[in-house]
Amino acid sequence: MCRFLAYRGEPIFLTDLVCAPSHSLVHQSLHAAEAKTETNGDGFGIGWYGERQVPGTYREVRPAWSDENLRSLCDQVRSGLFFAHVRASTGTATTRANCHPFAHGRHLFMHNGQIGGYSRIKRRIEALIPDDLYETRHGTTDSEAIFLLAIANGLATDPVDAMARTLKQVRVLMVEAGIAEALKFTAAVTDGENLWAYRWSCDGNPPTLYFREAGGNLLVVSEPIDDKTKGWREVPKGCGLVARAGSETRVQCLNEAMAQLAA
């Protein structure tokens, strides 16, 4: 599994969240507290929005805790919307192209979880991705495949519905293949303006997800980066977070969206 962090609000230096806090994401790369694995050392990545419409990314195969470049970048880059992710591989290779966040056009996506039995249905999932999107697949992870499939399913228009459709499609393939392991999906996506997060698993036991709001700034994390009592709220299992610019952040039920699709 992995640990991640998403921020939207007043522009701040990335280091203020990624490196500085007592239980920062970099600290979690060595000592995650609520993850299946304590060590998240199979690469990492950051993605941020600056002056361009498309985000910048820095992804690297080395552990986050010892990366001098990460420290320097987080110290220099100030952004009002950024993602950061430390990876614990669930089987795919440690390459830059397999590190999160994944960027596509204006979108960033990152994932904590996995498609159970992925290697057995990898190509069937890939077959669902349209040609023009498949050309942009640079890595081999389940996470990137989900992202591209979600784009095909309308991520740009309705991110909750698109992700519900995507998870349904993947589940169908899993069931067909008789896969017993779970589909676990705690994730975040942004179009550079709005932010969505998800916490869902087919076995009702998705990885943790928290958020905190203060003064119009939203922070979404796998686990609190400081004192757990300081205003953190847990995203309920089976739910998503919708944080549209200019609107209140609200929790939306992903299970419901998926049920409606089934109807």
Residue 76 or 260: the one with the smaller Cβ distance to a copy of itself is 76
Nearest residue (CB) to a copy of itself, 135 versus 158: 135
Least distance in angstroms from the C-beta of 169 to a copy of itself: 17
Tokens of 132: 């023009």
- To the nearest whole angstrom, how small is the minimum distance from the Cβ of residue 203 to a copy of itself? 24
Query: Closest CB to a copy of itself among 123 and 246?
Result: 123
- Report in angstroms how near the CB of residue 226 gets to a copy of itself at its nearest: 22
Distance from C-alpha of 75 to C-alpha of 105, rounded to nearest angstrom:
25
Kindly state the smallest distance separating residue 92's Cβ from a copy of itself, in Å.
Answer: 8
CB of 15 to a copy of itself, least distance (A): 10
Q: How far is the CB of 84 from a copy of itself (least distance, A)?
A: 15
Q: How far is the CB of 47 from a copy of itself (least distance, A)?
A: 9
Q: Summarize as ranges the residues that interact with a copy of itself (CB under 8 A).
A: 30, 38-39, 41-42, 48, 50-52, 54, 56-63, 65-66, 68-69, 72-73, 75-78, 89, 93-97, 119-120, 122-123, 126-127, 129, 131, 134-135, 137-140
Which residue, 60 or 213, has its beta carbon nearer to a copy of itself? 60
Residues 245, 254: Cα–Cα separation, whole Å? 20
CB nearer to a copy of itself: give 56 or 238. 56
| Pairing verdict, β 78-86 and 3-13 | antiparallel
Question: Which of 93, 261 has the CB closer to a copy of itself?
Answer: 93
The nearer residue to a copy of itself, 45 or 240, going by C-beta atoms, is 45
